[in-house]
Amino acid sequence: MNHEPEHVRRSLLPGGLKVVTEHIPSVRSVSVGIWVKTGSRHETPTQGGITHFLEHMLFKGTDRRSAYEIALSMEAVGGFLNAFTANEHTCYYARCLDTELPLALDVLCDMVLHPRFPDEEIAKEKNVVIEEMKMYRDSPEDVVFEEFTKQLFDPHPLGRPIIGTERSVNSFTRKELLAYMEDRYAPSNLIVAVAGNADHERVVEMVAGVVDRQWAGGEPMAEPGLTEERAKAHTLTKPIEQTHLIVGRRALSHTHPDRYKLLLANTVLGGGMSSRLHQNIREKHGYCYAVSSFHQAFYDSGMFAVYAGTDQAHADHVVDLIRDEFKRLQDVAVPGKELIEAKSQLKGKLLLAQESMSNRMTRLGKCEIYFDRYVPLDEIVRDIDAVKSEDIRMFSESFFNPEATSTTILLPES
């Protein structure tokens, strides 16, 4: 049975909006986030990028505030205000002194519940987002990552770029933005998360005072099922100096029982300068400046990959070295000392992150979205410590199957 710590509290408002807080009385700041359970995977093909575009537009004015007044609101009191869009959620957040918590909640709720969407701002913001696309296209790392993601998941929405395309973004109308908000931004789809020096009952009272709309949002669109995963190899070119490559596969969801085995395997492989990939490919062979591995989890799947940037002459050997490290995990159990160090690294990062109120707020929001409860740090530490060397080896036997491992390579144009 889960027992949440006393400093973490959750409430459900009549309209379905959730409020979750973590009280940290030793700080003078608060981090506030409004999480919307909608992301790029909830879009139809013609809506590609609408969630991200909507995130931009919520900063462009409400019934009570101009775009400038929204921008000034937090900066004028020494705080900051921002937002991001992901595959499965959107977050609008602020950080400020604890005395400015009422202002932060009021501004964020005003943005999310009462946007104006002026036609002239929609037209300007389309240009802004298209410039953002160009910025990503000028980044080789972003290009190879987008192609790799498409390779893994297409035609599923997870395979489409969060930002959309120039064609889809240029097609958005004010009516479509309002309809999407009406469908996806219902209070029952919202979570208010606050971490820092804030009283839970006071937060609930403030949120209830400004959330004056209650309506029934729609269900997410019926998504196509994930196709069977098969190993693929894709090569593309750009006028660049370095070869950029990704080797990986679909991975595990946030709630998968093997997730800590994968996180530890990921740490051993590419979790820093002491990792196997860094020591072998960079330190031993000198093939690259940057090499790392990562895991991104979704509701029902995930993505694991190794990224490296190298000279074109070394690209094939780098891919072979990466696959050799996968094979090594399959064949030989991680030595006890190395596993202890990987566990300490994973736990240390987790615990050090708790010194940031923004990180604590993010944990609150994601726990609500993916687990519908607060997951105590002690529980995570216990699950990490429970993983044995042989567990990782047995997990690796199936997970690092070459038949499920894909490669995307971005080469310089010849």
Question: Edge-to-edge strands of the sheet including 190-196?
Answer: 8-12, 18-23, 190-196, 29-36, 90-97, 80-85
**Do the domain assignments include residue 2?**
no
Same domain, 359 and 282: yes
Whole-Å CA distances, 17 to 189, 207, 214, 228? 7, 9, 9, 36
CA distance 309 to 245: 6
**Do the domain assignments include residue 347?**
yes
Same domain, 201 and 238: no
**Do the domain assignments include residue 161?**
yes
- Give the contacts of 217 (CB within 8 A, at least 6 positions apart): 182, 183, 184, 185, 186, 188, 189
Whole-Å CA distances, 190 to 19, 175, 216, 293? 9, 22, 12, 32
- What is the DSSP code string of 288-301? EEEEEEEEEE-SS-
CA distance 152 to 404: 10
To which H or E segment does residue 97 belong? strand 90-97
Same domain, 336 and 288: yes
C-beta of residue 60 within 8 angstroms of C-beta of residue 110: no
C-beta of residue 147 within 8 angstroms of C-beta of residue 408: yes
What is the tens place of the pLDDT at every residue in 186-242? 888 999 999 999 999 999 999 998 886 655 555 656 677 888 888 899 999 999 999
Same domain, 206 and 266: no
Structure confidence at residue 221 (pLDDT): 60
Same domain, 202 and 238: no
Domain boundary among 152, 175, 210: 210
CA distance 119 to 188: 28
CA distance 191 to 109: 11
Query: Crossing angle, helix 119-137 and helix 140-153, to 10 degrees?
Result: 100
Q: What is the extent of the structural domain holding 314?
A: 233-412
Same domain, 173 and 37: yes
**Do the domain assignments include residue 220?**
no
| Number of C-beta neighbours around residue 334 at 10 A | 25
**Do the domain assignments include residue 278?**
yes
Closest CA to 356 of 33, 4, 17, 18: 33
Structure confidence at residue 6 (pLDDT): 79
Same domain, 194 and 257: no
Domain boundary among 210, 245, 271: 210
Same domain, 199 and 240: no
**Do the domain assignments include residue 78?**
yes
Name the H helices within 156-199.
166-171, 174-184
Annotated catalytic sites, by residue?
A: 55
For the chain, 414 residues long, give each residue's pLDDT as a single digit of tens.
456 677 999 999 988 899 999 999 999 999 999 999 999 999 999 999 999 999 999 999 999 999 999 999 999 999 999 999 999 999 999 999 999 999 999 999 999 999 999 999 999 999 999 999 999 999 999 999 999 999 999 899 999 999 999 999 999 999 999 999 999 998 889 999 999 999 999 999 999 988 866 555 556 566 778 888 888 999 999 999 999 999 999 999 999 999 999 999 999 999 899 999 999 999 999 999 999 999 999 999 999 999 999 999 999 999 999 999 999 999 999 999 999 999 999 999 999 999 999 999 999 999 999 999 999 999 999 999 999 999 999 999 999 999 899 999 999 997
Instruction: Say which CATH number the domain at 31 has.
Output: 3.30.830.10
**Do the domain assignments include residue 277?**
yes
**Do the domain assignments include residue 216?**
no
Domain boundary among 177, 210, 243: 210
Token pair of 244 as six digits: 């950029």
Same domain, 303 and 396: yes
Same domain, 159 and 240: no
Measured between alpha carbons, how far apart are the two ends of the chain, in Å? 61
CA distance 294 to 279: 17
Same domain, 31 and 173: yes
Same domain, 41 and 136: yes
What is the tens place of the pLDDT at every residue in 287-345? 999 999 999 999 999 999 999 999 999 999 999 999 999 999 999 999 999 999 999 99
| Structural domains in the chain (count) | 2
pTM of the predicted protein model: 0.94
3-state secondary structure of 172: coil
3-state secondary structure of 149: helix
